[in-house]
Structure 1
Amino acid sequence: MRAPELSLFDVFGVSREIPLNYVVREKVDGVFLDALTQHKHLVIHGSSKQGKTSLRKHTLPSTDYIIVTCSNKWNLAELHAAILKAAGYKLEGTTIRTTSGDLKVNAKLGAKLKLPFIGDAGAEVGTEASEATARSEAETSLELDAADVNDIIDALDKSNSPKRIVLEDFHYLPEETQTDFAVALKAFHEDSAYCFIVVGVWLDENRLLQHNGDLGGRLLSVNADKWTVEELKSVMNVGSAQLNIKFTPQFMDSLIDGSLSSVWIVQEVCKLACERAGVYATQENCVVIDDDVPALITQVVNQDTARYVGFLSRFAGGIQNTRLEMFRWILMSVLLAELEDLTRGLTYGWLTQTINMHHPTAPVNAGNITQALQSTASLQLVHMKLKPIILDYNQTARRLTVVDRSFMIWLQHQDRAALISELELS
């Protein structure tokens, strides 16, 4: 019996859906599945394009959760409001003030999410309810302080919402909002049955604990960044079997060596190699594929050249003109670092030493260096509007990490001395 014909683009490359060659990673998928049974909040973290969203989609049925994609402009109340909207509410402003001075909102539950005791009639919840609604014992009026976690829990309970709530792109939220929500997470754990799955681009497993130490014991982290050689080979082997092709051992070894463990690079290079071989769907006869892997990797990462050059220029400029220009010297340190050190993350000690070796007013106060490092993410998200971010500072390990692996590969193919000169970093 002939195998079903599959499209190349459903197997290799970036897809909105779960790739057909999805590979279960024991130390990632297994940890995530185990964590789901413990009724705690979960954090899925790692570099960009390393399979965080696919992990969630593959493991959890879409009916088991509601999902919110975070915005870099939201405060806590706006994040809470987005959660309520995902649960089926329609929100309207009021003229009533909360104790903090903000305006309360009306929450109306639409017909798509029905209270279990209403049946097919649906319900509306709001302070401006009609007389008919007011007479109905089944319907309730809610006047909410969107910044109050207690009000949010009460509203979610009335919506019959799934007990899991996914927050994608949590790293886009302003730092203050992340901190405020970390405080709210404790209340969600203590006073409700809701478990949040927070998905973000960072390597520090204790990121939310830094915002609120009381989350200790209430939060589990899953590092989706790790891909072993065997797992990356499985991605290629599963995909090649689905398309009835075979990558040569030399091709596979060269790709794994050059990918810096980036599953995105592996997927994109395999897609390009198939296109160059004329393979766009499952083949009737097995096709053996070999190609110039370094050239293909370069082709993939060069798609982002304009983005990376823009990042370097704007990051060097910092948030505003200052006497010390700390971001300029942090960037110079990144460009001077060896690939192996970039892969592990640049330690605070190494960064301090390197900056003081080149800064015209050395030695630089340690507090100024620390403050700039802690602001690297907000500089990229808030001031540069850069998505996804490229650099992130791990405050627990005190390391500056590259969270875009393709940037490191791109950097390998650049004349770093020329970049330093062009950016006037020396």
Structure 2
Amino acid sequence: MVTNYKTHEVYGVSNEMIATYIERSDVDDLFIKGLEKNKHLVIYGASKQGKTALTQKHLEEKDYIRVNCSPASTIQDLYNSIVRQLNIEIVESREVSQEVGGEIKAGVKAKIKIPFFGSGEANLEGKETFNEGDKTSYKIVDYNLFLAQDLSELLRAINFDKKIIVENFHYLTEENQKLLSIDLRIFDDYKIQFIVLGIWREKNRLIQFNGDLVDRLIEIPVEPWEREHLKAIIDEGFPLLNVSFENVLEELIETCFDSVGVFQELCKESCYAAGVRETSEDTIYITADNISTAIEKKLSDYSSRHIRCLEAFVEQKAKSSDEIPLYIPYYFVKTLLNEDFDDITSGLKRRVIQEKIRTIHHRPDDVRPSDMGYFLQTLVANQIKKSISPPIFDYDIGTSSVKIIDSTFYFFLKNCNKEEILEYIPVPVGL
């Protein structure tokens, strides 16, 4: 019996598993080996490049707890979420202060009710109780919701054997990223495996925060997507929808700029343009006109978001002073939109950005290396603060260059009218 598929089940970007997921030996095999070795896994790359899909492919829901980060999340919030998802009963709690790294941190100390498995199986000390209804023994133990060691001991006491997936690690403040990186060393000692997902492109992001993680984690970049990978997606989808891209495949691959998310969306929209909403009885051949229609549709979708993001990015309130501010974000965007596309894809060097900003700046002599340094080091944090999600730009310290980490932004830049986009960007007050 032939299975009938809806087009959005075969192609596109979705929270659900897409039927055309393909395994890549340098990514999927590394992930599987990491699971077997029980080392922390760090999955990174631009947005919509398959990070979450990788975990969904190889793990069932019963195998993990997923914690989503937000700009407001603290380490305590993450640990609270883990405890809450395990349905662990908190008998009572109170706020406490804890010294961490010479600083006083607020935390919560709680009395936790956990099953008691007998001598030797749980090393937490506490008052033992007995539940007549379910014939289960329990222990009431003190537990600090801020400390990784307390959480580790609690998880070991209840025989916790799942993975902990941390989504959107990049949304955490740098301080909280560092704190979690330090705590991962403790979790590793207790054989509790974390899988960290984040949007960036350079290696060793967590190791920069904690050198002790060397040899304790495995990094898995989900990029690049090679041409043969994208062709394999088409081969996988052909028998499911009975739709052929053979006449336009090269054009389609060139258009997506190695972004599997853009590629999947263009495939979906091309099918819709050809009138294919589900598995076709007869083979349908996608045409160049179908591809053009798909490009126009996705450019419209992406443009509205990216223009709003650029407007928010350059927005800067002038302080109460007679001197006009430097407005570095505004000049950065102007520089970016005047760059050749090939130079943008290879990454914009810090020195080059500064030189080009100075050539068009209203106070060129005041654009100092320290000003550029501060702008670049806070690049992601400022985007998150302005609700630009996912972030568009990131600064790679290792190569001293700005890289685009929103995979749809390349498609937008290549297909938009840059002069028209510049007209949308508000000129700061005083210029």
Normalised by the size of structure 2, how large is the TM-score? 0.87
Amino acid at match of 2:350: Y
Match of 1:258 in 2: 255
Query: Alpha carbons of 1:386 and 1:359: their partners in 2 closer, same or farther (altered >3 Å)?
Result: same
Instruction: Report if the CA contact (8 A) 2:91-2:110 is conserved.
Output: yes
Q: Does 1:19 align with 2:22?
A: no
Residue 140 of structure 1 aligns to a residue in which SS? strand
RMSD: 2.8
CA distance in 2, matches of 1:280, 1:415: 31
Q: Paired residue for 2:287, among 287, 290, 293?
A: 290
Residue 412 of structure 2 aligns to a residue in which SS? helix
Gaps of 5+ in 2: 99-103
Amino acid at match of 2:302: D
CA distance in 2, matches of 1:97, 1:89: 20
Q: Paired residue for 1:366, among 369, 375, 400?
A: 369
Query: Alpha carbons of 1:276 and 1:422: their partners in 2 closer, same or farther (altered >3 Å)?
Result: closer
Match of 1:81 in 2: 80
CA distance in 2, matches of 1:68, 1:159: 19
Q: Does 1:413 align with 2:415?
A: yes
Match of 2:101 in 1: none
TM-fit CA distance, 1:59: 1.7
In terms of mean alpha carbon deviation, does 49-58 or 77-86 score higher? Answer: 77-86
TM-fit CA distance, 1:226: 1.4
Q: Which runs of 4+ in 1 moved over 4 A?
A: 90-93, 107-110, 114-118, 125-133, 318-322
CA distance in 2, matches of 1:421, 1:15: 33
TM-fit CA distance, 1:96: 5.0
In terms of mean alpha carbon deviation, does 396-405 or 282-291 score higher? Answer: 282-291
Q: How does 1:4-403 map to 2 (within 5 A)?
A: 4-91=3-90, 94-95=93-94, 97-99=96-98, 100=104, 102-106=106-110, 108=112, 138-189=137-188, 191-249=189-247, 251-292=248-289, 293-318=291-316, 323-363=325-365, 364-382=367-385, 384-403=386-405
Instruction: Report if the CA contact (8 A) 2:44-2:222 is conserved.
Output: yes
Instruction: Report if the CA contact (8 A) 1:258-1:294 is conserved.
Output: no
CA distance in 1, matches of 2:92, 2:136: 25
CA distance in 1, matches of 2:393, 2:111: 39
TM-fit CA distance, 1:17: 1.9
CA distance in 2, matches of 1:92, 1:318: 48
Q: How many residues align?
A: 412
Residue 141 of structure 1 aligns to a residue in which SS? strand
Query: Alpha carbons of 1:319 and 1:80: their partners in 2 closer, same or farther (altered >3 Å)?
Result: farther
Residue 140 of structure 2 aligns to a residue in which SS? coil
**Deviations 1:252-288, CA, capped at 9 Å, x for gaps:** 1111001001111221121122222222222222222
TM-fit CA distance, 1:221: 0.9
TM-fit CA distance, 1:83: 2.1
Gaps of 5+ in 1: 119-124
Residue 137 of structure 2 aligns to a residue in which SS? coil
Instruction: Report if the CA contact (8 A) 1:301-1:407 is conserved.
Output: no
TM-fit CA distance, 1:72: 1.7
CA distance in 1, matches of 2:150, 2:175: 21
Query: Alpha carbons of 1:48 and 1:358: their partners in 2 closer, same or farther (altered >3 Å)?
Result: same
CA distance in 2, matches of 1:261, 1:143: 51
CA distance in 2, matches of 1:365, 1:61: 51
